Amino acid sequence: MAEVVLNHVKKKFGGSLAVKDMDIKIEKGELVSFLGPSGCGKSTTLRMVAGFLQPDEGQIFIGGKDVTRIPANKRDTALVFQNYALFPHMTIFDNVAFGLKMRKLSKDEISTRVNEALEMVHLEKFSDRYPRQLSGGQQQRVALARAIVVKPRLLLLDEPLSNLDAKLRIAMRNQIRELQQKLDLTAIFVTHDQEEALVLSDRIVVLEQGSIRQIGNPQEVFDTPKTHFVADFVGIRNFFDGHFESNRFITNSGMTIITHSTGDPDSKKIGIRSNMIVINPNNPDMYENKTTVKVQSIIYRGTSVEITGGFSTGETIEIEMPSEQFKLNTIVQDDEILVYWKADNVLPLTD
């Protein structure tokens, strides 16, 4: 039996459907990310699971129990907020202990569990400090300790890393994943950052305008997106409209691209990752697609260089290559260069 089940859950705000039909099962010990842009329904769904919002239709089950109409404080969940939501007048110890005191545990049990939780997030030396005396990253770790100390059946994380700088985000996401696996917690992680979702998740649910666009493990979502929206969200930048003719895709401008897919009746678009397109390969015979483009722009991005090339048809293509490789090529703007890509790097997409 799945640990969490959302059965055709819908939520309206005014006359607008914020969540159109959320139907998903989450297994015990699984971390599932809800990924999508602002307004796609991911946080609204999380708040319905937590019990802060009531669905207009559908049911929510946690541990086999229908909790759809059960208040938040009666569900065995813990929520980590984006803004930490710590009590400023309480010490770190008391912040972490708050949920245990509400459950009326003994002082000895509270002390033991709070100290264990603070040790897990490496803040055991800060128990007598106040939130204002800690950095943003430390405050987020306190919020995480407060969530795990109650040993919830379900851990909910609502964009918990968005207020941190890049280096701290990496450190915190690694710690979240480590603790989730160590404690065998079932978790839902809400994020708009595709890298966070890829690194953290067992499965990713990609949302757009309140609807599920794709569900899969990180490799499936990243390597084989099914729609233009999902492909764009996971970083594909080259798209072409047209139609399939056997194992060829004919763009609307008449350019022919060899593929290993015949698409399906709804496939009117293809995507190609920019780092799958190469210049001056060692073995050009490995590549089914070869064409000339005129260099329109060159952008240096540190570890990589982004080149935009224009086809004679008027379409453009982005090529991403390692900086070291770029240095071996004398490419400048307005050069005409040969670019290559493999047929199996062409992804059929629906709208």
Same domain flag for 313 and 188: no
Choose the final residue of a domain: 197, 228, 259.
Answer: 228
Which helix H or strand E contains 170, and what residues bound it? Answer: helix 166-182
Choose the final residue of a domain: 179, 195, 228.
Answer: 228
- Integer Cα distance of 193 and 107 in angstroms: 40
Same domain flag for 176 and 242: no
pTM (whole model) above 0.85: yes
Summarize the confidence of residues 62-72 as an average pLDDT.
Answer: 95
Beta bridge pairs of residue 205: 34, 215
339 φ/ψ angles, rounded to the nearest 5 degrees: -120, 150
pLDDT band at 265 (very low <50, low <70, confident <90, very high): confident
pLDDT band at 79 (very low <50, low <70, confident <90, very high): very high
| Structural domain count of the chain | 2
What's the domain range around 303?
A: 236-349
Same domain flag for 221 and 334: no
Task: Calculate what percentage of the chain has a pLDDT beyond 90.
Answer: 84
Q: Is the pLDDT of residue 266 over 80?
A: no
pLDDT reported for residue 43: 95
Number of CB atoms found within 10 A of residue 143's CB:
24
- Integer Cα distance of 250 and 257 in angstroms: 6
CATH of the domain at 272: 2.40.50.100
Q: Is the pLDDT of residue 47 over 80?
A: yes
Report the SS3 class of residue 62: strand
257 φ/ψ angles, rounded to the nearest 5 degrees: -125, 125
pLDDT band at 326 (very low <50, low <70, confident <90, very high): confident
Residue pLDDT, tens place only, 118-172: 999 999 999 999 999 999 889 999 999 999 999 999 999 999 988 888 888 898 8
Same domain flag for 285 and 152: no
CATH of the domain at 38: 3.40.50.300
Same domain flag for 209 and 311: no
Average pLDDT, rounded, for the chain = 93
Q: Describe the strand order of the beta sheet including 211-216 as a list of residue ranges.
A: 77-80, 154-158, 186-191, 31-35, 203-208, 211-216
pLDDT reported for residue 215: 97
Same domain flag for 123 and 180: yes
Same domain flag for 78 and 176: yes
Summarize the confidence of residues 304-313 as an average pLDDT.
Answer: 94
pLDDT reported for residue 262: 75
Same domain flag for 181 and 45: yes
Residue pLDDT, tens place only, 179-218: 999 999 999 999 999 999 999 999 999 999 999 999 999 9
Summarize the confidence of residues 234-249 as an average pLDDT.
Answer: 93
